[in-house]
Amino acid sequence: MMDFTNQTVLVTGSSRGIGLAIAQAFDAAGAKLILHARSEIKPEIIALFKQEPQVLQFDIADAEAAEASLKALYKQDDFDGIDVLVNNAGITKDQLAMALAPADFAAVVNVNLNGTFNVTQPVFKKMIRQKHGAIINLSSVVGQMGNMGQSNYAASKAGIIGLTKSLAKEGARRNIRVNAVAPGMIVSDMTSVLPEATQTEILKNIPLSRFGSAEEVADAVLFLAENSYITGQTLTVDGGLYI
């Protein structure tokens, strides 16, 4: 069992799905949690945690809102800093490229890629001063291999991999590790609405012949947060889809 006792962990987009599973895994490992969502997190979600988490509410695409919220967090008298940042929040607006509205391309890149930077930059500055920290960015197998109807999402997630590598080089001298996790087809609200025929076709390309779980993605995130000699890497959690 990994032990994150006395470590403070911020997980963006942690009110549901993969983000919630990641937050719960850190909670089980003893971490002090900071949850984040764009809208209010329901009391029944808060009740899932052993230790009552702090909650941040802002749109990651809004750089000023992200910075203001994080500055207020660091100004708390009893706040010692963030040890682990998990950038999970993101959106999709799928459409074939020939029919994709420029606004929808920009919106996905703005939330997924720019939003990841908007949250990371203020935290990264503090980690530089505290001379330690771990950042895990949620990319996607789509950012590695592309996918029909997801040019905007693929571009944003590929950008996250490039951002991860650059930050890893910048942070290494101050003992800050930056890695990415690239999930494949994970059981979620997004995959549950796919027609059965589509799911069957996708499974043909997954050597392990099943979709993954949010908990399996969370395991990968905790592994990268704990291991002290891995940085600048992308850990693909996809059942072999991208071999």
219-236 confidence digits (pLDDT tens): 999 999 999 999 999 999
Whether pLDDT at 188 is above 90: no
Residue 123's pLDDT band, with cuts at 50, 70 and 90, is: very high
Does the residue 243 lie in any domain?
no
Does the residue 1 lie in any domain?
no
Does the residue 242 lie in any domain?
no
Range of the domain at 210: 8-237
Whether pLDDT at 5 is above 90: yes
Whether pLDDT at 23 is above 90: yes
pTM of the prediction? Answer: 0.97
Number of domains in the chain: 1
Q: What is the CATH number of the domain that holds 219?
A: 3.40.50.720
Does the residue 202 lie in any domain?
yes
Residue 198's pLDDT band, with cuts at 50, 70 and 90, is: confident
Residue 193's pLDDT band, with cuts at 50, 70 and 90, is: confident
pLDDT score, position 195: 84
Does the residue 3 lie in any domain?
no
Does the residue 138 lie in any domain?
yes
Catalytic position from the list 74, 153, 229, 242: 153
Does the residue 126 lie in any domain?
yes
**Structure confidence by residue, pLDDT tens digits, 65-102:** 999 999 999 999 999 999 999 999 999 999 999 999 99
Q: Is 74 a catalytic residue?
A: no
6: left (phi over 0), alpha (psi -120 to 50) or beta: left
**Structure confidence by residue, pLDDT tens digits, 140-175:** 999 999 999 999 999 999 999 999 999 999 999 999
Distance separating alpha carbons of residues 142 and 184, to the nearest angstrom: 8
